[in-house]
């Protein structure tokens, strides 16, 4: 590292410079990062997940959990530098900006607590789902008119004619900006992006500064107009009205800054996201055709586009104290570039993360909108626009194809989308020429979580085989033989068991060879007290039958860094354990399997286990007087040992008791497939308050609603997956109160500490909980 490139936060130690060659060579302003930032930093995510970039003077964070943790803690990792120029400007450019009275200050994206949340709360209402529903017709009309203008032309630049223009007009209407001055906004917005997140050369900086200065004055001029008549439906009119009620919260300088930043935030990101989505889909023709054939997939496909190829590649934070990220020490004042584009393709979080799969159930867990207190307020407006654009294009131009072209991007760290997207089609084949009714079809827009049933995959049962008393192995394949999303051991699929109008969804672990990308295999026990799921599967699993399947998902991942693995299975709990054993063997890990059952004929997959795992396998058949003594086989759980178990409740309870004396608190991993603990019976519940410390809100949770539901009703973003207390994705930190835990995620120690809770099912024993949200 040269003396010139040493900047604040540079981690030079007495031993020398720890920056690796690849880290030193990293630039976000080159072609590789601009074209695909997720791929450009894949090496870092695997080898050096938090590294120092001398080019930027920033720590670069690339893994999903680390990026999310930084977003989550907006006190330790302040957003105050989010709009700071990443490239320091020359004096002349600074003087130009000053000459325009440029005074960009705090906005919703770069302010700290305690100011941020009160402002967010005061200004939030127009972004809520009920308020957005009223914008749907406007967005549809604009998208329709845009396509009307070119539908007979046969070739167009979609960005210029639709995907930039419509989000811009929608954004202006949403903000309440008069449309007569829209003209120069594109130039202004690009200048703002280059000025804040780009690397303009000194000679460029003066031109950019003039455009940014003009943009600042333009924003002030628009704001003055709005002040004269703040009665309109726009967000800025709403903000001016709220200023009258809360002058100390919504100040004049604040309004001017959010006027300018809001114009960029409201349309650039959506325009780029739309262009990325159409490009991504047309490059994967079969996916585009899948959406044309199944428009109900579009809401989830939008989430998957945002995950795989989102428009916000990276964001910034600064450490307010000495801390660490992903085990790397970070000094107070150090700056962080947190790269959502790489995190969104982290295989530790997303199964088969590089694959684009519009049926991916966890697609909505992407970090493109950020996470936590600063999550993008306009996310649902963006989602609505993207869904409507894809509906309009797949309905009216299903034969659209990409023209061969070089894609250009504005070089910068954070916003990504092609400047042009040329597409062509044969107008003679436009469906509306042959059937004008296609123009009357209206597909619903989903604001919030896409429907899970819409993303089911119809799979064919290709093989059924009895592998033990009451246990069948079932092989499922795509009807057209296409490859399936890959999975890792511990993953399961959801199977919809359809009986008339009733749909029971049941989870089954994948237990076939993970390297077989053309089939999923499950083992299913016919439960004697079946609630309908296993009986349905046994009755319907005949070769040629169709099963509706979602996933795979994985809440039971194997720690491949463990020194030793102890795998414990009881009965049909062998299915995920078998997959873990196969993986442990293929990776050359030290493992042992303890498999208990009633009798050998009831124990599925014994032959395969014996032949594939030899003396790693220990079996216990109780009818033969050979019981699994957990205390004995787990007597020497040392640091570095991880225990994975799946089996009946009493076995799990016994393991939890033993785990209390193990040296590492998180060494026990248990797979659960159902939990009756979280079932809500309003007749026996009581209402209680949740106080949100970061938001300054107090919400009442009624007896018939979950904490998760109540939070979402008040626009507090929180992720969820299973909503049954099984997966841990809806976790919230608890600062005070006695939690009535009803999940199966937390172990005994965690429960007793009352420091976190699963909001989808757990409640309060008393009247009040304080959550760090
Ligand atoms: Fe899975 Fe709450 S959403 S535990």
Question: How large a percentage of the chain has pLDDT more than 90?
Answer: 62
Q: With a cut of 80, say whether residue 674 has pLDDT above it.
A: no
Centre of ligand 1 to C-alpha 207, Å, is 51
Question: How large a percentage of the chain has pLDDT more than 70?
Answer: 94
Which residue in this structure is represented by tokens 């209680």? 688
More confident residue, 95 or 694: 95
Count of residues making up the chain: 773
Q: Is 510 in the pocket of ligand 1 (CB under 6 A)?
A: no
Can you tell me the distance from the alpha carbon of 258 to that of 108, in angstroms, rounded to the nearest whole number?
7
Q: Is 365 in the pocket of ligand 1 (CB under 6 A)?
A: no
Q: With a cut of 90, say whether residue 11 has pLDDT above it.
A: no
pLDDT of 530: 62
Q: With a cut of 80, say whether residue 683 has pLDDT above it.
A: yes
Contact 233, 273 (CB under 8 A): no
pLDDT of 12: 67
Centre of ligand 1 to C-alpha 731, Å, is 7
Lowest pLDDT segment from 35-39, 446-450, 578-582, 665-669: 446-450
> Which residues fall within 8 angstroms of residue 140, CB to CB, at 6 or more apart?
388, 392, 442
Contact 504, 673 (CB under 8 A): no
Contact 281, 421 (CB under 8 A): no
pLDDT of 691: 94
Centre of ligand 1 to C-alpha 727, Å, is 5
- List the one residue out of 362, 366, 316 whose CA is nearest residue 197: 316
Can you tell me the distance from the alpha carbon of 461 to that of 108, in angstroms, rounded to the nearest whole number?
52
- List the one residue out of 115, 42, 576 whose CA is nearest residue 342: 42
Whole-angstrom distance between the N-terminal and C-terminal Cα of the chain? 41
Strand order in the sheet with 422-424: 155-157, 422-424, 401-402
pLDDT of 15: 65
Q: With a cut of 50, say whether residue 7 has pLDDT above it.
A: no
Mutate to test the pocket of ligand 1, among 364, 507, 707, 722 (most ligand atoms within 8 A of CB): 722
Angle between helices 165-175 and 379-396 (to 10 degrees): 140
Q: Is 170 in the pocket of ligand 1 (CB under 6 A)?
A: no
**Mean local confidence (pLDDT), 195-199:** 87
More confident residue, 85 or 516: 516
Q: State the closest ligand 1 atom to the C-alpha of 743, by its place in the atom list counted from 1.
A: 4
pLDDT of 712: 81
More confident residue, 208 or 599: 599
Q: With a cut of 60, say whether residue 521 has pLDDT above it.
A: yes
Q: With a cut of 90, say whether residue 405 has pLDDT above it.
A: yes
Can you tell me the distance from the alpha carbon of 76 to that of 372, in angstroms, rounded to the nearest whole number?
13
Q: Please, which pLDDT band fits residue 673 given cuts at 50, 70 and 90?
A: low
Q: With a cut of 60, say whether residue 600 has pLDDT above it.
A: yes
More confident residue, 454 or 314: 314
Q: Is 725 in the pocket of ligand 1 (CB under 6 A)?
A: yes
Q: State the closest ligand 1 atom to the C-alpha of 759, by its place in the atom list counted from 1.
A: 2
Q: What are 629's two structure tokens?
A: 């003594």
* 554, 560, 657 from 667: Cα distances, Å: 18, 13, 13
**Mean local confidence (pLDDT), 47-63:** 95
Centre of ligand 1 to C-alpha 268, Å, is 33
Lowest pLDDT segment from 150-164, 288-302, 412-426, 685-699: 685-699
> Which residues fall within 8 angstroms of residue 418, CB to CB, at 6 or more apart?
159, 275, 276, 279, 407, 408, 409
Can you tell me the distance from the alpha carbon of 19 to that of 21, in angstroms, rounded to the nearest whole number?
7
More confident residue, 174 or 191: 174
Q: Please, which pLDDT band fits residue 10 given cuts at 50, 70 and 90?
A: low
Radius of gyration of the CA atoms of the chain, in A: 28
Q: With a cut of 70, say whether residue 227 has pLDDT above it.
A: yes
Q: Is 720 in the pocket of ligand 1 (CB under 6 A)?
A: yes
Q: With a cut of 90, say whether residue 383 has pLDDT above it.
A: yes
Atom 4, ligand 1: residue with shortest CA distance = 725
Q: State the closest ligand 1 atom to the C-alpha of 728, by its place in the atom list counted from 1.
A: 4
Centre of ligand 1 to C-alpha 360, Å, is 17
pLDDT of 614: 94
Centre of ligand 1 to C-alpha 464, Å, is 32
**Mean local confidence (pLDDT), 342-346:** 98
Centre of ligand 1 to C-alpha 273, Å, is 29
Q: With a cut of 60, say whether residue 57 has pLDDT above it.
A: yes
SS percent in the chain: helix, strand, coil, step 5: 40, 20, 40
Contact 315, 37 (CB under 8 A): no
Mutate to test the pocket of ligand 1, among 556, 726, 757 (most ligand atoms within 8 A of CB): 726
> What rounded mean pLDDT belongs to the chain?
90
Q: Please, which pLDDT band fits residue 451 given cuts at 50, 70 and 90?
A: low
More confident residue, 195 or 23: 23
Centre of ligand 1 to C-alpha 21, Å, is 41
More confident residue, 551 or 546: 546
pLDDT of 374: 83
**Mean local confidence (pLDDT), 63-78:** 92
- List the one residue out of 575, 605, 744, 578 whose CA is nearest residue 676: 744
**Mean local confidence (pLDDT), 716-726:** 75
Q: State the closest ligand 1 atom to the C-alpha of 725, by its place in the atom list counted from 1.
A: 4
Q: Is 677 in the pocket of ligand 1 (CB under 6 A)?
A: no
Strand order in the sheet with 688-692: 697-701, 688-692, 768-771, 731-736, 756-758
Q: Is 719 in the pocket of ligand 1 (CB under 6 A)?
A: no
**Residues 133-137: contacts with CB within 8 Å, 24+ apart?**
133/447, 135/170, 135/173, 135/174, 135/381, 135/384, 136/384, 136/388, 136/445
Q: Is 745 in the pocket of ligand 1 (CB under 6 A)?
A: yes
Centre of ligand 1 to C-alpha 760, Å, is 5
Centre of ligand 1 to C-alpha 491, Å, is 16
Neighbours of 437 (CB within 10 A): 9
């Amino acid at each position: 590292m040269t003396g010139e490139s040493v900047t604040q936060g540079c981690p030079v130690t007495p031993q020398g410079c720890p920056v690796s060659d690849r880290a030193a060579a990293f630039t976000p302003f080159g072609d590789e990062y601009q074209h695909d930032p997720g791929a450009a930093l894949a090496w870092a995510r695997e080898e050096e997940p938090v590294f120092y970039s001398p080019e930027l003077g920033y720590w670069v964070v690339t893994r999903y959990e680390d990026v999310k943790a930084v977003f989550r803690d907006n006190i330790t990792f302040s957003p105050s530098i989010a709009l700071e120029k990443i490239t320091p400007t020359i004096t002349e450019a600074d003087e130009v900006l000053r000459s325009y009275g440029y005074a960009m200050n705090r906005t919703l994206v770069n302010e700290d607590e305690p100011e941020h949340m009160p402002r967010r709360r005061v200004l939030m209402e127009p972004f809520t789902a009920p308020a957005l529903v009223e914008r749907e017709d406007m967005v549809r009309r604009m998208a329709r008119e845009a396509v009307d203008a070119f539908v007979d032309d046969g070739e167009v630049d979609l960005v210029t004619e639709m995907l930039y223009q419509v989000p811009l007009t929608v954004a202006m209407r949403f903000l309440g900006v008069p449309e007569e001055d829209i003209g120069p906004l594109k130039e202004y917005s690009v200048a703002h992006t280059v000025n804040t997140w780009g690397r303009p050369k000194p000679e460029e900086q003066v031109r950019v500064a003039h455009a940014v200065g003009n943009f600042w004055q333009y924003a002030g001029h628009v704001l003055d107009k709005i002040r004269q008549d703040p009665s309109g439906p726009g967000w800025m009119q709403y903000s001016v009205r709220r200023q009258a009620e809360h002058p100390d919260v919504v100040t004049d300088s604040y309004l001017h800054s959010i006027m300018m930043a809001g114009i960029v935030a409201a349309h650039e990101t959506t325009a780029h996201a739309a262009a990325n989505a159409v490009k991504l889909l047309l490059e994967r023709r079969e996916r585009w055709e899948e959406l044309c054939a199944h428009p109900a997939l579009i809401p989830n496909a939008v989430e998957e586009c945002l995950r795989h190829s989102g428009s916000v590649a990276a964001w910034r934070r600064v450490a307010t104290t000495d801390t660490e990220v992903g085990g790397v020490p970070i000094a107070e004042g150090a700056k962080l570039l947190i790269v959502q584009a790489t995190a969104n393709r982290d295989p530790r979080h997303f199964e088969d993360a590089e694959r684009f799969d519009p049926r991916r159930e966890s697609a909505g867990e992407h970090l493109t909108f950020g996470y936590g207190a600063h999550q993008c307020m306009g996310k649902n407006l963006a989602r609505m626009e993207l869904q409507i654009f894809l509906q309009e294009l797949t309905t009216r131009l299903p034969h659209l194809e990409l023209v061969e072209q070089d894609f250009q991007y504005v070089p910068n760290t954070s916003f990504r989308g092609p400047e042009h997207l040329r597409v062509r089609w044969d107008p003679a084949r436009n469906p509306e020429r042959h059937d004008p009714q296609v123009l009357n079809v209206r597909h619903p827009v989903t604001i919030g979580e896409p429907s899970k049933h819409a993303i089911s995959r119809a799979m064919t049962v290709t093989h059924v085989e009895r592998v033990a008393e009451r246990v069948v192995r079932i092989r499922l394949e795509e009807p057209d033989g296409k490859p399936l999303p890959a999975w890792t051991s511990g993953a399961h699929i959801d199977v919809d068991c359809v009986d008339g109008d009733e749909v029971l969804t049941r989870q089954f672990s994948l237990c076939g060879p993970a390297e077989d990308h053309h089939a999923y295999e499950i083992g299913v026990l016919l439960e004697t007290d079946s609630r309908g799921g296993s009986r349905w599967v046994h009755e319907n699993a005949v070769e040629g039958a169709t099963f509706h399947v979602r996933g795979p998902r994985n809440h039971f991942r194997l720690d491949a860094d463990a020194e030793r693995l102890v795998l414990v299975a009881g009965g049909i709990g062998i299915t995920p354990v078998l997959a873990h054993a196969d993986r442990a063997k293929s990776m050359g890990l030290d493992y042992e399997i303890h498999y208990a059952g009633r009798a050998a004929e009831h124990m599925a997959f014994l032959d395969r286990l014996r032949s594939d795992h030899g003396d790693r396998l220990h079996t216990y058949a109780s009818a033969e007087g050979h019981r699994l003594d957990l205390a004995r086989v787990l007597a020497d759980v040392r640091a570095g040992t991880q225990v994975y178990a799946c089996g009946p409740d009493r076995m799990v309870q016994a393991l939890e008791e033993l785990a209390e004396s193990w040296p590492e608190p998180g060494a026990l991993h248990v797979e659960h497939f159902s939990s009756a603990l979280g079932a809500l019976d309003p007749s026996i519940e009581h209402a209680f308050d949740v106080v949100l410390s970061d938001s300054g809100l107090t919400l009442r949770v009624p007896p018939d609603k979950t904490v998760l539901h109540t939070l979402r009703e008040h626009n507090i973003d929180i992720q969820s997956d299973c909503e049954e207390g099984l997966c841990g994705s809806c976790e919230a930190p608890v600062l005070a109160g006695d939690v009535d835990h009803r999940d199966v995620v937390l172990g005994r120690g965690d429960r007793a500490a009352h420091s976190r809770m699963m909001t989808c099912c757990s409640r309060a024993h008393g009247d009040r909980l304080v959550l760090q949200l």
